[in-house]
Chain A
């Protein structure tokens, strides 16, 4: 029950969009989350796997079987769409039983299996109800049950939570992961919500301009992003343009930063990454000498409840801080071990004034 993209490329006719050179494998039982900005090709990936688009080159394998040119209805893949797309003229159990009906399973068994699937998403009592009488979250649960009732070879989730209220999303995240684990099938989860991807995915793939930029476990992706694009897209980030001035010394708009420069030669252009929660806010400049301590002015201060997000103006750069401290902040300390150097980014060096500011 695995999914494999082998060197898949697809270009939209008459446009520049599409996906290019995709090599990707989703193992049995694994949930792979794909994130990227809109237009990055993540939805195209899902279209290609579900059969609504055919690659120009490359192959797509499901369970080792080539499905590249199979029509959608012969692929036996469960797809959950953003819009739920329940059939409005059928009761819930008939909705869930529909894939069994087209597989010509006897009505009695159909109903039993549909009720069982509804019970697994906690909606057994709603079997006879009509879809419009349910909330969005409930409808999406039904859609999930319907996509899994026929034991598909893989599960495809197309932004399943983005039409829901924020308060519902967290619950449904857990629910989807639980049901997916129970089914034990390869799952491709497309989303633009990076928090959703990090919390749900066994691995996360970041797409940009139709290409896979990095595929890694959530923690690795967050802690060791491959380049600026990934660092900027996954989580919040301070990203400053920098130049390696000496071993362990990088010049930035904030001033000289001490950090590990292994792998970068003197004079090399780099992007300096520091996560906002790893940066330490200080009430005043300490007397004792600490590395990477800067005096600054708070120019934006947002209270978010559990935490507080500040922008501190330091030199010609800005340091984004996420902290639980509520007292005044006048300085910041950036621990050298919290700093990562990334290969330079062409857009960053062309437009240095833009970097370091909240994106």
Chain B
């Protein structure tokens, strides 16, 4: 009981303080800020570097989701359908590697490879998207694989085959419709991770391709209220993504 209360306190107190700070007029050397203002949010909205970072983040998230879908669905299907147990295990380990590897390691690897003269792509938005894809793909694949096993997809496909459906029909009529819920909730997880991703982005983003969390760090060198407002924006985005994820997961169970 006490542990729960302490946990919630540590979780909620900073968030509450941030929210408070974002609408407080001045906050220096006092426990709580004084005065009420919407000025920080107005400043944030007018700031060109934050505008650009926000747009960059949205672009990266969108592209990450699209590429994830195009790659994860066929890949998860191939892993699920591969008959050999060994091949299955190997594929799973391979897809889990990016989760197990510290992101710093991945980031330094990207710097080494893409700052060379042959592959001078460091700082481009496409490299950023590629990095986010590498980091998020395992999550989506695992969500899809769990759902495939739960649905007994292989059994349903076998039945469909005996009923006369060739591979293309089975994929379109059976596999895709059944996976739509888990694909959606998986993509929301992917979005939440991509929105908040800091480590790799910070290492490989260029001056013009900074994502929102990187720019956010700069804000803490300025006015406290401004930094709080900028953080709250990120928090709201992340909460929206999580809530949408939870809702679709529930809809999937009910369906």
* Partner-B contacts on A (CB < 8 A): 50-52, 71-79, 81, 83, 85, 87-89, 98-99, 101-103, 146-147, 150, 156
Determine if B160 and A98 form an interchain contact, defined as CB atoms under 8 angstroms apart.
Answer: yes
Determine if A102 and B162 form an interchain contact, defined as CB atoms under 8 angstroms apart.
Answer: no
Determine if B173 and A50 form an interchain contact, defined as CB atoms under 8 angstroms apart.
Answer: no
Q: Which 5 A-B pairs have the closest CB atoms?
A: A99-B163, A79-B162, A72-B161, A85-B159, A102-B165
Mask for B166-195, Cβ within 8 A of A = 1, else 0? Answer: 100100011001100000000000000000
| B113 at interface, CB cutoff 8 A | no
State in angstroms the CA–CA spacing of A103 and B165 once bound together: 8
State in angstroms the CA–CA spacing of A105 and B163 once bound together: 14
| B59 at interface, CB cutoff 8 A | no
Determine if A89 and B177 form an interchain contact, defined as CB atoms under 8 angstroms apart.
Answer: yes
Give the A-B contact count at a CB cut-off of 8 A. Answer: 64
| Stretch binding the partner chain, chosen from B10-18, B149-157, B208-216, B231-239 | B149-157
State in angstroms the CA–CA spacing of A51 and B166 once bound together: 13
| B158 at interface, CB cutoff 8 A | yes
State in angstroms the CA–CA spacing of A81 and B154 once bound together: 13
Determine if A50 and B162 form an interchain contact, defined as CB atoms under 8 angstroms apart.
Answer: yes
Q: Which residues of A contact B162 (CB under 8 A)?
A: 50-51, 72-73, 75, 77-79, 147, 156
Tell me the smallest distance from the CB of A169 to a CB of chain B, in Å: 21
Tell me the smallest distance from the CB of B9 to a CB of chain A, in Å: 43
Determine if A73 and B165 form an interchain contact, defined as CB atoms under 8 angstroms apart.
Answer: yes
Residue A83 contacts which of B155, B164, B166 (CB distance < 8 angstroms)? B155
Beyond A52-B158, A102-B169, whether A88 also contacts B151 by CB under 8 A is: yes
Q: Which residues of B contact A87 (CB under 8 A)?
A: 156, 159-160, 174, 178
* Sample of 16 further A-B pairs with CB below 8 A, known A81-B155, A146-B163: A51-B162, A72-B158, A72-B161, A73-B165, A76-B164, A78-B162, A78-B163, A85-B156, A87-B156, A98-B160, A98-B163, A99-B164, A103-B164, A147-B162, A147-B163, A150-B164
Beyond A73-B164, A73-B166, A88-B151, whether A98 also contacts B158 by CB under 8 A is: no
State in angstroms the CA–CA spacing of A77 and B162 once bound together: 6
Q: Which residues of B contact A79 (CB under 8 A)?
A: 159, 162
State in angstroms the CA–CA spacing of A96 and B155 once bound together: 17
State in angstroms the CA–CA spacing of A102 and B164 once bound together: 7
Q: Which residues of B contact A83 (CB under 8 A)?
A: 152, 155
A-B contact pairs, 17 of them (CB 8 A): A50-B162, A72-B162, A73-B164, A76-B164, A81-B158, A85-B152, A85-B155, A85-B159, A87-B156, A89-B177, A99-B164, A101-B173, A102-B164, A102-B165, A150-B163, A150-B164, A156-B162
Tell me the smallest distance from the CB of A138 to a CB of chain B, in Å: 17
Beyond A81-B155, A83-B152, A85-B152, whether A98 also contacts B161 by CB under 8 A is: no
Q: Which residues of A contact B255 (CB under 8 A)?
A: 89
Among the interface residues B161, B164, B173, B178, which one has the most CB atoms of the partner chain A within 10 A? B164
Tell me the smallest distance from the CB of A52 to a CB of chain B, in Å: 7
Q: Which residues of A contact B156 (CB under 8 A)?
A: 85, 87
Determine if B164 and A89 form an interchain contact, defined as CB atoms under 8 angstroms apart.
Answer: no
State in angstroms the CA–CA spacing of A51 and B158 once bound together: 10
Residue in chain B with minimal CB distance to A75: B162
Determine if B169 and A88 form an interchain contact, defined as CB atoms under 8 angstroms apart.
Answer: no
Tell me the smallest distance from the CB of A29 to a CB of chain B, in Å: 21
Mask for B206-247, Cβ within 8 A of A = 1, else 0? Answer: 000000000000000000000000000000000000000000
Q: Which residues of B contact A89 (CB under 8 A)?
A: 177-178, 255
Beyond A88-B178, A89-B178, A98-B173, whether A81 also contacts B163 by CB under 8 A is: no
State in angstroms the CA–CA spacing of A89 and B151 once bound together: 11
Residue in chain A with minimal CB distance to B166: A73
Q: Which residues of B contact A103 (CB under 8 A)?
A: 164
State in angstroms the CA–CA spacing of A88 and B165 once bound together: 17
Q: Which residues of B contact A102 (CB under 8 A)?
A: 163-166, 169, 173
Beyond A81-B159, A83-B152, A88-B151, whether A98 also contacts B165 by CB under 8 A is: yes
Q: Which residues of B contact A147 (CB under 8 A)?
A: 162-163
